[in-house]
Amino acid sequence: MITTDILIIGAGPTGLFAVFEAGLLKLKCHIIDGLPQPGGQLTELYPKKPIFDIPGYPSVLAGDLVDNLMEQIKQFQPGFTLNEKAETIKKLEDGTFIVTTNKGTEHHAKAIAIAGGLGSFEPRKPLIEDIEFYEDKGVEYFVKDPELFRDKKIVIAGGGDSALDWSIFLADVASHVTLIHRRNEFRGALDSVEKVQELKKAGKIQLITPAEVTGIHGAEKVEALDVEIDGAHQRIETDYFIPLFGLTPKLGAIANWGLEIEKNAIKVNNALDYQTNVEGIYAIGDINTYPGKLKLILCGFHEATLMCQSVYNKLNPGKKYVLKYTTVSGVDGFDGTRKEAEKQVVKAIE
Ligand SMILES: Cc1cc2nc3c(=O)[nH]c(=O)nc-3n(C[C@H](O)[C@H](O)[C@H](O)COP(=O)(O)OP(=O)(O)OC[C@H]3O[C@@H](n4cnc5c(N)ncnc54)[C@H](O)[C@@H]3O)c2cc1C
């Protein structure tokens, strides 16, 4: 069982920054995310887009902001349960919680911060009979570990950046890469399309368009696919089928946790600390709602900060909390020079 002070559900920017604010208060965090990597929408939907409204950054690529957040929280050594979705929650008599994921991993925490954004991202699955039977038996909706495909035959389907980028990357890993798309034109970045064409010419990728995978065969695992190419049918032998058709967000199991939900978002007390109707469970970032809510990264950062203060006060009853500037305290508490600096700041304020 994993134990922590604050269990954060969602490794988007809000969840990541919550680790930093909690760390300043010496609270330990563990994060669960259904995706294989941190960053939430920024990593999954727009890693190469510049964001212009992060204070202090005239422009920052979404992917770089995630890298910086990860760097900023490294010092507090948060734990991660990635590629697993928080599914059930149980409140114990002492007010603590046990959250279990869809893969059975149990987490025990003193407080829960749901930073689930638009909900967990579910892969869009192609409409192929029996595809569920082959999931984890040759059908993969994410590339979690490229080494799985080393020296194997793989078929990737899709026309966006994920399908193109993974085809390019895996051309050096797999023994045989086939990319199938139902149109001749791709939606992904032009330079990736050009690279795929180059690899096709070099014989490293087999490109089949316009075409669609219509069936899967194999007794125990994927062995071959039926492909419809411009009206004609062909069978392709393969070890893996990787449909990369994008992800759709769903509130999922969290909707059954007894929380007040309004229009697919969790209602919180924004006058105080972003707590939900269940004491000890907070909701921060895009997933919450309150009058005047704005779904912006900087609002998530603010909400994460107040949530951490509230958890600190709950876990340390009677202990007076004094706001400390990081310029004075640093991130690991006071040292001699910082104490001196603080005195000067206090003097200056007085
Ligand atoms: C194209 C685009 C451009 C944008 N541009 C801007 C911009 O310029 N400025 C700005 O401020 N905002 C922008 N946004 C909005 C911004 O991305 C969101 O406000 C921000 O991502 C919210 O962060 P979050 O951490 O609350 O949620 P998210 O980023 O959505 O992260 C939530 C995470 O929670 C995980 N999760 C959910 N449920 C579960 C569960 N049950 N178990 C495990 N994990 C779970 C998800 O997998 C996800 O990784 C943009 C959004 C898009 C789509």
Q: Which residues contact 198 (CB under 8 A, 6 or more apart)?
A: none
| Cβ atoms of 225 and 155 closer than 8 Å | yes
> Nearest CA to 134 among 225, 221, 235?
221
- Residue range 17-23: average pLDDT? 97
- Above 80 in pLDDT, residue 227? yes
Beta bridge partners of 28: none
Expressed in angstroms and rounded, the spacing between residue 283 Cα and the centre of ligand 1 is 13
Cβ 117 under 6 angstroms from ligand 1: yes
Percent of the chain at pLDDT exceeding 90: 79
Cβ 247 under 6 angstroms from ligand 1: no
Q: Which of 2, 33, 41 to mutate to test the pocket of ligand 1 (most atoms within 8 A of CB)?
A: 41
**What does DSSP assign to residue 320?**
P
- Above 80 in pLDDT, residue 37? yes
Structure token digits, residue 215 = 């069936």
- Above 90 in pLDDT, residue 233? yes
Instruction: Please return the burial class of 313, using the count of CB atoms within 10 Å of its CB with bins 0-12, 13-18 and 19+.
Output: middle
Percent of the chain at pLDDT exceeding 70: 95
Higher per-residue confidence, 304 vs 35: 304
- Above 60 in pLDDT, residue 300? yes
The residue behind tokens 């058709």 is: 245
- The protein residue whose alpha carbon is closest to atom 21 in ligand 1 is 41
Confidence of residue 338 (pLDDT cuts 50, 70, 90): very low
pLDDT, residue 324, reads 79
- Above 90 in pLDDT, residue 345? no
- The protein residue whose alpha carbon is closest to atom 48 in ligand 1 is 40
Please state the atom number of ligand 1 nearest to the C-alpha of residue 38: 49
Structure token digits, residue 244 = 């990369």
Mean pLDDT score across all residues of the chain: 91
Confidence of residue 247 (pLDDT cuts 50, 70, 90): confident
pLDDT, residue 24, reads 94
Confidence of residue 339 (pLDDT cuts 50, 70, 90): low
Cβ 138 under 6 angstroms from ligand 1: no
| Cβ atoms of 96 and 112 closer than 8 Å | no
Structure token digits, residue 259 = 């929380």
Torsion angles phi and psi, residue 51, rounded to 5: -105, 140
pLDDT digits (tens, 9 = 90+) for 95-133: 999 999 999 999 999 999 999 998 877 889 999 999 999
Instruction: Please return the burial class of 282, using the count of CB atoms within 10 Å of its CB with bins 0-12, 13-18 and 19+.
Output: buried
Please state the atom number of ligand 1 nearest to the C-alpha of residue 298: 11
Written as one letter, the residue type at 333 is G
- Map out the domains of the chain with their CATH numbers: 2-121+248-319 (3.50.50.60), 125-245 (3.50.50.60), 324-350 (no CATH)
- The protein residue whose alpha carbon is closest to atom 14 in ligand 1 is 296
Expressed in angstroms and rounded, the spacing between residue 62 Cα and the centre of ligand 1 is 11
Please state the atom number of ligand 1 nearest to the C-alpha of residue 252: 41
**Element housing 237 (H / E):** strand 232-237
Confidence of residue 40 (pLDDT cuts 50, 70, 90): very high
CA 76 to chain CA centroid, Å, is 19
